[in-house]
Structure 1
Amino acid sequence: MKLGVYNAILHDRPLPEALKVVADLGLTGIEINTGGFLPAVHVPDMDQILVSDAARDDYLAVFDGTGVSIAGLNCNGNPLHPKRAIGEKHAEDIRRSIRLAHRLGQDRVVTMSGLPGGEPGATVPNWVVNAWNSGALDVLDYQWGVVAEFWKETDRLAADHGVKVALELHPQNVVFNTADVRRLIELTGATHVGVELDASHLFWQQMDPVAVARELGPLVLQAAAKDVRINQENAALHGVLDNSFRRLSAEEDRTHLGGDEWVNEWPKDSAWDFVALGRGHDTAYWAEFLAVLHGIDPDMAVNIEHEDMSLGRIEGLEIAAGVLKEAAASVGVLR
């Protein structure tokens, strides 16, 4: 099992410095962002790498002697967004990441299943949360048709390149729970599409990542180590689907998601928060999580994703790495 870091939190520094941070944490992998919602900061010469052996070899040489190797590529985005400026770019980022993975000797690409609009001609995605009425099922029927067509095609591309695509079970996507994974595989017959098990998004939905891993077994291809704390008093009042987000202005620091979409400010009295490992679930839980993943694939990559807004970049990584290494040591899953 390889423990590492998803590099988005280290986009503030060049790749060699990011690799040193990961190595200093005592970790051996780095998951490299290659597009989608975020720019490919640490692969600036991607187009050259795709066509030039020299460019590819120069890029891989950056990792030599660092003790850190690539642990998958990540292009999380919405490849099915009904706005072409977003959807087509994110879809092409997935295809390009699959080709790049093959060029770099990698066999894992992490992304999301996507979320279309609710009907032909829509301009915004439509996430059906609770399909109790027939109109909502009509929306889902349309969306699943779009999803199946895209992932059949993408699965063929992945198979042609010897790459497996791991879908993060992220809300505001059509595929966000165990039943959706099964449905996607049944509809598409996919052989090179599975799951990136990001525990955090399962926690706040009241799902158990360990139970999900056991249920999906070999469909789990990669994992993200990110914790969630439920703020019980706020959750009791607002529920975990609270929409008290604030729109950030152009003058404020905000993250671009593509086209005309931006990240909003997190609710101040939030029902739940992303936190560093150990701040939501103890080391014993993460030990069980790693043990189950190791049973599925002893070589699986598990990468820390740091989004704890109360901690600095390095501080948060240090806390998470400490918990992850202690958990791994307690169940003997490191190579």
Structure 2
Amino acid sequence: MKLGVYNAVLHDRPLPEALDVVRSLGLTGIEINSGGFLPAVHIPTFDAILESDAARDDYLAIFDGTGVHIAGLNCNGNPLHPNRAIGDKHAEDIRRSIRLANRLGQHRVVTMSGLPGGEPGASRPNWIVNAWNSAALDVLDYQWGIAAEFWKETDALARDLDVKVALELHPQNLVFNPADVFKLVELTGATHLGVELDASHLFWQQMDPVAVVRALGPLVFHAAAKDVRINPAAAVYGVLDNRFRRLSPEEPRTNLGGDEWANEWPRDAAWDFVALGKGHDTAFWTEFLRALHEVDPDMLVNIEHEDVELGRIEGLQVAARVLLDADAVLAAGAVAH
């Protein structure tokens, strides 16, 4: 397996310092944000790289001798947002990321399927969680039509440039479980659309990430190592706990495009993103890596740190220890057999 870090948590420092952190963890890859919800902080010469071989070579030279390689690009956003100021930008960021990946010799771009509005003229996305009524299925039919058109065109671009697009199965997206993945591939005839297997978003849905990997098989292109802890509050509020707080302009907050911002997580949340090991032990992560290895022995598996109880480096250290221990157990088992 090829183990690394998604760089968003290291946006507070220059790229060379971020590479030093990754190397100090005993990991060898860095997945680099290339647009969408977050800016491409560690690709300051993005436009130049798309046009200039010299700019591309200068950028790649930053990695020479560090022991850390680029482990995919990440462009999470909502390319289907009905507010075109957001949707068009995120869609173009994905296309630019695919082109950049090709220029850098990369073959993986991570993003999200996106989520349209519920009907023509909508200005906000509409996430149908449980389509028990006919009106909800009408909404989904409309949304799938929009998604199929966009992803058919995007798959063609990815195919032409030898890049595979890995969709994170994330809430508030049209594609958030394996059934949706199969449906998107069927509707588009896609050859270069698949999944970034982020176990965290499966845990809170009460899914088994190992079973999901085996169900999706070769449609798993990439993986994220992030854990979830189910808290006692889940017994009262359930896993669709929606007690988020709107942050004011005077408070630190993350812009998601246009006039949309990330909200504050519930204080006693039903579940939390945590570092590896705080929700599921090393034995689980060993089986997770085993399932990924069955799909692709060279699978890129990158830690995503969103544990608010731990600092940036501390959280990466905790997660890296668990991931490396799991990989060592897997490797030892392979040798024994």
Q: Which TM bucket (shorter chain)?
A: over 0.9
Match of 1:34 in 2: 34
Q: Which amino acid aligns with 2:81?
A: H
Question: Does structure 1 residue 315 correspond to structure 2 residue 335?
Answer: no
State the distance in 1 between where 2:79 and 2:36 align: 8
Secondary structure of 1:195's counterpart equals strand
Shift of 1:11: 0.1
SS at match of 1:151: helix
Summarize deviations over 1:92-140 as a string: whole Å, max 9, x none.
Answer: 0000000000000000000000000000110000000000000000000
CA distance in 1, matches of 2:56, 2:322: 35
Q: Which residue of 1 aligns with 2:184?
A: 184
Letter in 2 for 1:108: R
> Partners in 2 of 1:89 and 1:264 — Cα distance?
21
Could you tell me how far 1:188 is from its partner in structure 2?
Answer: 0.4
Equivalent residue number for residue 154 of structure 1: 154
Aligned to 1:210: 210
The alpha carbon displacement at 1:268 in A equals 0.6
Q: Which residue of 2 aligns with 1:82?
A: 82
Q: 2:131 is aligned with what amino acid?
A: A
The AA in structure 1 aligned to 2:132 is W
Q: In structure 2, what is the Cα distance between the partners aligned to 1:17 and 1:90? A: 28
- Within-5 A mapping of 1:1-335: 1-231=1-231, 233-332=232-331
Name the aligned partner's letter for residue 116 of structure 1.
P
Q: TM-score, normalised by structure 2?
A: 0.98
Q: Which amino acid aligns with 2:228?
A: V
Identity of aligned residues (%): 80
Looking at structure 1, the residues matched to 36 and 263 of structure 2 have their Cα atoms a distance apart, in angstroms, of 17
RMSD (Å) for aligned C-alpha atoms: 1.0
> What do residues 197-222 of structure 1 show as CA deviations (whole Å, max 9, x unaligned)?
00000000001110000000000000
Q: CA deviation at 1:269?
A: 1.2
State the alpha-carbon separation in 2 of the partners of residues 60 and 105 from structure 1. Answer: 10
The separation in 1 between residues aligned to 2:84 and 2:141, in whole angstroms, is: 21
What letter is aligned with 2:152? K
Q: By how many angstroms is 1:152 displaced?
A: 0.2
- Stretches of structure 1 lacking an aligned partner (at least 5 in a row): none
Deviations for 1:172-212, whole angstroms, at most 9, x for unmatched residues?
00000010000001100000000000000000000111000
- Displacement over 3 Å in runs of 4+: none
- Per-residue CA shift, 1:115-172, capped at 9, x if unaligned? 0000011000000000000000000000000000000000000000000000000010
Q: Spell out, residue by residue over 1:18-68, the C-alpha distance to the aligned partner (whole angstroms, 9 max, x if none).
A: 000000000000000000000000001100000000000000000000000
CA distance in 1, matches of 2:274, 2:107: 29
The CA distance in 2 between the partners of 1:269 and 1:10, in whole Å, is 27
User: 1:121 & 1:197 partners in 2: Cα distance?
Assistant: 33
Opposite residue 204 of structure 2, the aligned amino acid is: W
Stretches of structure 2 lacking an aligned partner (at least 5 in a row): none
Aligned residue for 1:332, secondary structure, equals helix
Name the CA distance, whole Å, in 2 between partners of 1:44 and 1:206.
Answer: 40
One-letter code of the match for 1:113? S
**Letter of the 1:214 counterpart:** R
How does the TM-score come out when normalised to structure 1? 0.99
Q: Distance in 1 between matches of 2:130 and 2:84?
A: 27
| AA matched with 1:307 | E
1:303-335 deviation digits (Å, cap 9, x = unpaired): 00000000000000000000000000001189x
Report the 3-state secondary structure (helix = DSSP H, G, I; strand = E; otherwise coil) of the residue aligned with 1:175. Answer: coil
* 1:248 CA drift (Å): 0.4
What is the one-letter code of the residue matched to 2:289?
L
1:69, distance to aligned residue in structure 2 (A):
0.1
Q: Distance in 2 between matches of 1:174 and 1:249?
A: 28
Query: 1-side partners of 2:81 and 2:33: how far apart?
Result: 20
